[in-house]
Amino acid sequence: MNNNDLANLLFPDIDQTIENLEKRFPKRNLPQNALITRFAPSPTGFLHTGSLFTSLIAYKFAKDTNGLFFIRLEDTDTKREIEGSGSDLLKQLKVFKIIPSEGYMGDSEIGQYGPYKQSERASIYRTVIKQLVKDDKAYPCFCSPNDLEFLRAEQEKNKITPGYYGEYAKCRNLTVDEAIDKIKKGYSYVIRFRSSGDHNNKIKVHDLIRGDLELSENDQDIVILKSDGLPTYHFAHVVDDHFMRTNCVTRGEEWLSSLPIHIELFNALGFDLPMYAHLPVIMKLDNGNRRKLSKRKDDEAAVSFFLKDGYPFEALIEYLLTIANSNFEEWKAENKDKPNDEFKLSFEKMSLDGALFDIMKLKFISKELLSRMSKEEITNRALEWAKEYDEKLLDLINRDKNYFMSIMNIEREKENPRKDYEKFSDIFEAIKFFYEDYYLELINNELPFNPFISSEIIKKILEEFVETLDLSLDEQTWFNSLKKLGNKYGFAESNKVYKQNKDKYIGHIGDVAEILRIALTSSKQSPNLYNILQILGRNNVAKRITYVINNKL
């Protein structure tokens, strides 16, 4: 009996060869510098912020180079799989406009290089492994979990590098006859790769981000096919990225340490090595220590957290681009109105260390972004968001969309727009005073009028303000008339004048405006008063002020 017999016994169903696969999945016909990248999530839960980062980088490099970006679902870990999470991932990527041109699409597949779900690629993996067994580069291993545990304990005791390699790889030395005998007897087995590496040898590798590296050769006889018939990550990565013709593997830096395994597998199979870029991992400061964003501990580890909280998706993308390339921020500041597509990512400018997640920066970016939306856009986006996450805001918008839009338009669409909102979830609280029912709730709280100004004066100012209000005046003329009104009751027309002669005045124009602000909104802080008056209209202004005079002073 020889290795061919062993291979036929292990894979009786396989009549294809590696050559067949090479023909079935030909090299892609793309320009030389075009990058073929992929995102390869496992369906084990929600879209992690780190995964959004990795997918964004892969997507953008493909786009920047007129290449191709596809998605492969790595669903070989059946124990950790969460039903439906694969298609949820795709839906979320779509929200961020990271749309693959090929691959697993959630409920369907597009492309000639599939199947794109690893669980459906068994025959491809088996074809490749059959060849490896024939070439004596892979072998069945019958060691039980107990055997392996025992081996590890022994190695630990004797202070030897743990693992299944060299003399410790018991099954690598079984004869073909012995192996065949065990298979026929029904022993359970995995298939291992027969490594010819030596841990003391160094190999040179190039990482697009990290440059030239020297790593120790792999010497472990790693499992390539598990007892459930599914491949391990290492093997699937090599086979899939070869036959899907990925030429640039972008993945988290946690994979860097297993790169020697992958290199040995590529070489053993005679496949060309793709380029590699091991991306920084997103970290968090926790009591002064840096650690990875954790699914369990950190809300911000789930992309859904940001969507629910009402950050526009572009804010997160822009934020992640600032993490990716330090020069993005500068570019953005100079090119506020250009789409991010025009910024070209570069591997050299990518940071090596895990990037710290900085929510303040995200907020800053988001605020800027929301302030630059047109009134229609912010209205429609807030509406979309509210439909999913905020009933109360939805109700306000639905009462009168134009009214809502006029509120959104306050100091918008100008060179330095107001930056009122960090996220859509800030809108409701900030604008509810525009709506009568909420106004009445607010105004019945204690009002923060300046205690140094008498109720008498406040009342008089409010009364005269309503009597003389003319909303047809332009802002400057209106404001001058307000100054005159204040003056009449002892308020200086500016802070400066007031400061020069404090004894002569009760206060200044700012105090007068504050009285109105409080009467109309219940708060000392509000957007531009003139805009509020215009939006509320004469009747509502009069109604509100009369209410305050009668009930609150």
Residues that bind ligand GLU (CB under 6 A): 40-42, 74, 237, 251-252
Beta carbon of residue 293, minimum distance to ligand GLU (angstroms, whole number):
14
DSSP one-letter string for 55-120: HHHHHHHHHHTT-EEEE-B----TTT--TTHHHHHHHHHHHTT---SEEE-SS-EESSS---BGGG
> In this complex, which beta carbon is closest to ligand GLU, that of residue 166 or of residue 252?
252
Q: What is the DSSP-derived secondary structure letter of residue 25?
A: S
What strands lie across the sheet with 190-193, from one edge to the other? Answer: 138-141, 190-193, 223-225
Amino acid identity at 58: A
CB burial of residue 548 (10 Å; 0-12, 13-18, 19+): buried
> In this complex, which beta carbon is closest to ligand GLU, that of residue 40 or of residue 222?
40
> In this complex, which beta carbon is closest to ligand GLU, that of residue 42 or of residue 522?
42
Q: Which residue is nearest to ligand GLU (CB)?
A: 251
State the CB neighbour count (10 A cutoff) for residue 154: 12
Query: 219 in helix, strand or coil?
Result: coil
Beta carbon of residue 13, minimum distance to ligand GLU (angstroms, whole number):
26
d(CA 181, CA 44): 38
Closest CA to 210 of 256, 249, 261, 248: 256
> In this complex, which beta carbon is closest to ligand GLU, that of residue 45 or of residue 111?
45
Query: 270 in helix, strand or coil?
Result: coil
Residues 6+ apart with CB under 8 A from 176: 1, 2, 3, 5, 6
> In this complex, which beta carbon is closest to ligand GLU, that of residue 41 or of residue 197?
41
Beta carbon of residue 74, minimum distance to ligand GLU (angstroms, whole number):
4
Beta carbon of residue 41, minimum distance to ligand GLU (angstroms, whole number):
6
> In this complex, which beta carbon is closest to ligand GLU, that of residue 41 or of residue 280?
41
Pair of tokens at residue 79: 């124990």
d(CA 386, CA 378): 12
> In this complex, which beta carbon is closest to ligand GLU, that of residue 65 or of residue 76?
76
Residues 6+ apart with CB under 8 A from 495: 508, 509, 510
Pair of tokens at residue 354: 């895990």
Q: Where do we find the tokens 């090595």?
A: 273
Number of Cα atoms under 13 Å in the Cβ half of residue 195:
23
CB 341 within 8 A of CB 98: no
Beta carbon of residue 42, minimum distance to ligand GLU (angstroms, whole number):
4
CB 325 within 8 A of CB 277: no
**What is the phi/psi pair of residue 64, to 5°?**
-60, -25
CB 252 within 8 A of CB 278: yes
Query: 208 in helix, strand or coil?
Result: coil
> In this complex, which beta carbon is closest to ligand GLU, that of residue 64 or of residue 77?
77
> In this complex, which beta carbon is closest to ligand GLU, that of residue 128 or of residue 515?
128
Amino acid identity at 160: I
Beta carbon of residue 85, minimum distance to ligand GLU (angstroms, whole number):
12
Beta carbon of residue 237, minimum distance to ligand GLU (angstroms, whole number):
5
> In this complex, which beta carbon is closest to ligand GLU, that of residue 54 or of residue 526?
54
> In this complex, which beta carbon is closest to ligand GLU, that of residue 118 or of residue 526?
118
**What is the phi/psi pair of residue 315, to 5°?**
-65, -40
Number of Cα atoms under 13 Å in the Cβ half of residue 347:
20
Beta carbon of residue 266, minimum distance to ligand GLU (angstroms, whole number):
14
State the CB neighbour count (10 A cutoff) for residue 490: 15
Beta carbon of residue 40, minimum distance to ligand GLU (angstroms, whole number):
4
Beta carbon of residue 256, minimum distance to ligand GLU (angstroms, whole number):
11
CB 68 within 8 A of CB 27: no
Beta carbon of residue 18, minimum distance to ligand GLU (angstroms, whole number):
21
d(CA 235, CA 226): 11
> In this complex, which beta carbon is closest to ligand GLU, that of residue 269 or of residue 466?
269
Beta carbon of residue 254, minimum distance to ligand GLU (angstroms, whole number):
7
> In this complex, which beta carbon is closest to ligand GLU, that of residue 253 or of residue 358?
253
Beta carbon of residue 226, minimum distance to ligand GLU (angstroms, whole number):
15
